[in-house]
Amino acid sequence: MKVFHIILLTSATLFSGCQSVDMMRAKPASIELSSTNKAKTIAGCIALDLEEVFREALDNNTRLHTRPISGGYSIWLEQGVALGESTAMVVDVTDTPSGSVTSFHNDLTPMYLERTNKVIRNCQGG
């Protein structure tokens, strides 16, 4: 019986998918867009609209974060998993001389991915 519990715990650790923001950023971006709008404007729009996209998930052990980063803003989604938290997506919006660049990295399910892609594209303005 002890062996079974050890195997179960090991499996849970391996499959819990604990990813950090930096690990998510290391993956190729699924979207990279340029805009004539500044990073603060784009990031604010994305953060507000994603609150609506993830409304149900945010009630169930999921958190959406927005923080300033060097040259712009970062928005990321953390989900509670078996042994901690895992980052499900990261959107970085950085200022450029002509506006901003948005980079989106994710492990979202197709339903959330489609809706998030739409939000990111709609918030570019321009």
- Only one residue has tokens 């994710």, namely 106
Identify the CA nearest to 125 among candidates 39, 55, 30: 39
Total number of domains constituting the chain: 1
Residue 31 lies in a domain: yes
Residue 3 lies in a domain: no
Residue 11 lies in a domain: no
Structure confidence at residue 45 (pLDDT): 98
Residue 10 lies in a domain: no
Residue 58 lies in a domain: yes
Mean pLDDT for the stretch of residues 87-92: 95
Q: Which domain holds residue 108?
A: 17-122
Q: Please give the mean pLDDT across all residues of the chain.
A: 85
pLDDT band at 46 (very low <50, low <70, confident <90, very high): very high
Given a cut of 60, is residue 113 above it in pLDDT? yes
Instruction: Please report, as a single letter, which amino acid is at residue 58.
Output: L
Given a cut of 60, is residue 102 above it in pLDDT? yes
CATH code, domain carrying 57: 3.30.310
Residues contacting residue 69 through CB under 8 Å, at least 6 positions apart: 92, 94
**Residues 56-76 pLDDT 10s:** 877 777 899 999 999 999 999
Q: Measured between alpha carbons, how far is residue 100 from residues 12, 53, 92 in Å?
A: 40, 23, 10
Residue 49 lies in a domain: yes
